[in-house]
Chain A
Amino acid sequence: MREQAKMIFKNERTSIMDKVMPVLLFVCAGVSVLTTVGIVYTLFSETVRFFSLIPIGEFLAGTKWNPLMNPKSYGIWPLLGGTLLVTVIACIVAIPIGLAAAIYLSEYAPAKVRKVVKPALEVLAGVPTIVYGYFALTFMTPLLGSFIPGLPVFNALSAGIVVGIMIIPMVSSLSEDAMMAVPNSLRHGAYALGATRFEVALKIVLPAAASGVVSAAVLAFSRAIGETMIVTVAAGATPKLTANPLESIQTLTAYIVQVSLGDTPHGSVEYGTIFAVGTTLFVITLLLNIGARKLAKRLREEY
C-alpha cells in the first residue's frame, strides 16, 4: 500500500493570488458540473411531465412512433431501431478501417509518413457534420444507387457509411495512442524470437492495448449514436422498425430536429416527446460510457 503524505504549502498563506486562485479554479470546474446538473434537471423534469400524460409502458414497449399525426402512437422502438441500424453500419465501417490505420501508423509508418497522414486524418475529423450530410445525400447515395438498383434517396446505408467515415479519425487516433503506449520491450522481445511485424502487431501489441482500443471503439459508438446532422439530411424521416439498411428510417436525433423545425407549443404532448427522446439518448450514452470505463478497467494491463 502506497502512503500518500499530505503536503502542506506554507508559502501560500501570505500571498493573495495564491489564496484566491484555488477558489477561482474550483469555480471553473464547478461550472461544468453545474451545466451537467442543469441539463439533467431540464431533461428529467419535462420527461416526468410527459410520462404523466403518456404511460411509460407504451413508450418502452410500443413499436409504432407517430406522435404528430392522428392516430397518435408513442412507442420508442422504431426510433431506437433506426439509431441502432445507422450506428452499427457506422461501426462496421469505422472500426476496421480506423484500427488498420492505427496499426499502420504505430507499427509500420516511418516518421515522415506519420507527419503527413496523422494531420490528414485530423482534417477529416474537422469537417462540419452538415457538410458530411450533404456529401451523403449528393455523392454517396447516387454512388450506392449505381450498384444497388432501386435504392431510395433517403436510406440508412448511405448515412451509416458517412457517419462511419466521420468517426474513423476518432477510432484511429485513440487506438494509436493506446498502441504507442505499449512498451517497446514487448515488441523487441517478440522480434528477438523471430516474429514478423504483422505478428507482433496482431498478437502482442493489440492484446496489450486492448483496453485502449475497446474504449476507442465504445467512444466511437456513442459518438455515432449522438450524430444528428448526417442522419437528418440523409437517412430520412420515416420512423420504422427494420433491419434493412436500404430503407428510409428516422433516428432519435433526427426526430428531435424534425419536431423542432415545425413549431410545437410549449407544454403540449408533442413538446414532451422532444424531452422523452432526449432523455432516452442521454441514458443510452450514459450507460455506454459507464460500461466502457468498466470494460477498460477490466482489460487494462499496467506495465
Chain B
Amino acid sequence: MFTKGRRNKGWIGIAALLLIAMIATACGGKSNSSVETAGAPANGAEASGTPAGNAPAQSGEAKLSGQVELDGSSTVYPIMEAVAEEFGKVHKDVKIAVGVSGTGGGFKRFCAGETAISNASRTIKAEEAETCQAAGVGYTEYQIAYDGLSVIVNKDNDFIDYLTVEELALIFGSEGAARTWQDVRADWPAEKILIFSPGADSGTFDYFNEVVLDKKGLRTDDVVTLSEDDNTLVQGIAGSKYGIGYFGFAYYEENADRLKLVPIDSGNGPVAPSIETIKDGAYSPLSRPLYIYTSNKEYERPEVKAFVAFVLDNVPSLAAEVGYIPLSDEGYAAEKAKL
C-alpha cells in the first residue's frame, strides 16, 4: 500500500508540472504580443490587442485585415512569397496564403472564385479566359518580372557544354526520343537519360512544351519523374549523375552549389541565362515574362488593393533578390497605370 500511494503522487506531480508549463506558455505569449503592439503604432496597422483609443490618434490609414489567397505557378511563388512576407511586416492583420498548384491549377481555382490572385508563368490560355468569363470572374493582367527558364544537369556532369534547341527536343520530346546520352551526341556516354520535369499543371511545362517541343508534349516513358514542386526536381537532379531537368532560374540560384546550368544554343551560339541575357532577350527561346492575374471583384477589397499596389512597388527589388529579372522602370510604370 505504501508503494501504491507513492506511485499516485508521482503522476499528480507530472500532471501538475505539465499544467503549469502550459499556463506559463499561454501567459507568456499574450504579454509578448502586447509589448510588440505598444512599440509599433507608427506603422499604421495595429494588432487586435491594443485598446481602440490608440487607433485613430496614431495613424491615418485604415486598419487592414483579412485574407488574401494566391495560387498558381511554382516559378512565380518565390517572388510572391517574398512580397507577402514584406507586406505582412507592414500589415500584420492581413493573412496572405500563397499556393503552388501550377499555373494551370491556379487558373482553375481562380476561375472558380477560390483565389484573389493567380500567379502565372505564361499568359492565360483562351479556354481559361472563357472559363473565367463564363463564371463571371473579370481579371486584370500584370507583368511583374522576367524569368530565364533554365536547363539544369547534375554538378558532376562533365560532358555537357551546351545544348541546341533541337537536342533539347530530342531529349525531352515524345517523338524519336533519345534513350541514352550517346543517342544525342556520339561522343557522350551511353548512359540512360533521366528526366525531371514539372507536370501538366505547371506553366513552366506549358512554356517549355510550346517553345521547345512544338506543343508535341513531353516523353512519357519510364525515365520521367514529374512533379509540380520544383524542390523535388532539384533533389532529383542533384542526386542523379545523368539526370536533366528544367525550372525557373530562381531555383537554380538557390541550389547553385549542387547543380550545373546548361547554356542553350538557339542558332546564335550558346548563351547561359543571366540577368543581362534574359533582360535583353539574348537567352532565347527560354526567357519568359511572369504574370499575376488579379480578380476585379476581389480587387474591391481594401487589403487586396493595398497588396497589389505593394507588389508593383516592391517587386523590382525583391525579384532580383529572389533570382528573377525585374522589368525596366518604364515597364513598371506601364503596369502601375493599370491599377
In the complex, are the beta carbons of A152 and B199 less than 8 A apart? no
In the complex, are the beta carbons of B199 and A69 less than 8 A apart? yes
In the complex, are the beta carbons of B222 and A69 less than 8 A apart? no
Number of inter-chain CB pairs below 8 Å? 74
A70 at the interface (CB under 8 A from B): yes
Chain A residues, CB < 8 A from B71: 263
In the complex, are the beta carbons of B108 and A237 less than 8 A apart? no
Contact of A68 (CB < 8 Å), options: B109, B223, B226, B235: B226
Q: How far is the CB of B116 from chain A (nearest CB, A)?
A: 16
A237–B229 CA distance with the chains assembled, in angstroms: 12
Tell me which residues from 251 to 303 in chain A have a Cβ below 8 Å from any Cβ of chain B: 258, 261-265
B66 at the interface (CB under 8 A from A): no
A231–B323 CA distance with the chains assembled, in angstroms: 31
Chain B residues, CB < 8 A from A262: 101-102, 104-105, 199-202, 228
Q: How far is the CB of A130 from chain B (nearest CB, A)?
A: 14
Chain A residues, CB < 8 A from B112: 265
Tell me which residues from 205 to 254 in chain B have a Cβ below 8 Å from any Cβ of chain A: 217-218, 220, 222-229, 232, 235-236, 238-241, 243
Q: How far is the CB of A257 from chain B (nearest CB, A)?
A: 10
Tell me which residues from 68 to 114 in chain B have a Cβ below 8 Å from any Cβ of chain A: 71, 100-102, 104-106, 108-109, 112
Residue of B nearest to A265 (CB): B108
Contact of B239 (CB < 8 Å), options: A68, A153, A238, A263: A153
A150–B235 CA distance with the chains assembled, in angstroms: 16
In the complex, are the beta carbons of A238 and B225 less than 8 A apart? yes
How many B residues face the partner with a CB closer than 8 A?
34
A282–B218 CA distance with the chains assembled, in angstroms: 32
Tell me which residues from 137 to 151 in chain A have a Cβ below 8 Å from any Cβ of chain B: 137, 141, 150
Q: A262-B199, A263-B101, A263-B201 are in contact. Are A69 and B220 (CB under 8 A)?
A: yes
Residue of A nearest to B195 (CB): A238
Chain B residues, CB < 8 A from A71: 217, 220
In the complex, are the beta carbons of B227 and A152 less than 8 A apart? no
A129 at the interface (CB under 8 A from B): no
Q: A69-B200, A137-B235, A153-B239 are in contact. Are A248 and B225 (CB under 8 A)?
A: yes
B315 at the interface (CB under 8 A from A): no
B304 at the interface (CB under 8 A from A): no
Q: How far is the CB of B224 from chain A (nearest CB, A)?
A: 6
Q: A153-B240, A154-B225, A237-B227 are in contact. Are A263 and B109 (CB under 8 A)?
A: yes
B194 at the interface (CB under 8 A from A): yes
Q: How far is the CB of A99 from chain B (nearest CB, A)?
A: 34
Contact with B along A55-76 (1 / 0, CB 8 A): 0000000000010111100000
Binding site for B on A (CB under 8 A): 66, 68-71, 137, 141, 150, 152-154, 236-240, 242, 248, 258, 261-265
Binding site for A on B (CB under 8 A): 71, 100-102, 104-106, 108-109, 112, 194, 199-202, 217-218, 220, 222-229, 232, 235-236, 238-241, 243
A-B contact pairs, 29 of them (CB 8 A): A68-B201, A68-B226, A69-B199, A69-B220, A71-B220, A150-B241, A152-B239, A153-B236, A153-B238, A153-B240, A154-B225, A237-B225, A237-B226, A237-B227, A238-B222, A238-B223, A248-B225, A258-B227, A261-B100, A261-B227, A261-B228, A262-B101, A262-B199, A262-B200, A263-B102, A263-B106, A263-B109, A263-B201, A265-B108
